[in-house]
Amino acid sequence: MATTINEKRIQVKVDADLKMDVDRVLNSLGINQTTLITALYKRVAASGGVPFDLQMTERERLTNQLLSTTSQLPVLDLTTDDNALEAWFDEA
């Protein structure tokens, strides 16, 4: 697809799984990536800012806090055969 004088191509790198998830949503909405990005750019230009909240959700914040806290804990190496481990879980 050739660009005209008034068009500029932009390229971004995103996680492959995220792209697939977004593509699935866009397909169900009947729009493509170009339409979405153009709509986003128009809203940014019209509002003078990002048109949505860029803060973590409560769940994301708590998950981040948990991961941060547990990353400080020492890691113990638990080695056992699968049958013994499964039997131990069955006892609980």
Specify burial of residue 22 (Cβ count, 10 A radius: 0-12, 13-18, 19+). middle
State pLDDT tens for residues 3-28. Answer: 678 899 999 999 999 999 999 999 99
Q: What is the model's pLDDT at position 34?
A: 95
pTM: 0.59
State pLDDT tens for residues 24-49. Answer: 999 999 999 999 999 999 999 999 99
Separation CA 40–CA 52 (nearest Å): 10
What's the number of CA atoms in the CB half-sphere (13 Å) around residue 12? 8
Confidence of residue 72 (pLDDT cuts 50, 70, 90): confident
Region class of 31: left (phi > 0), else alpha (psi between -120 and 50), else beta: beta
Confidence of residue 76 (pLDDT cuts 50, 70, 90): confident
Domains and CATH numbers, the chain: 8-73 (1.10.1220)
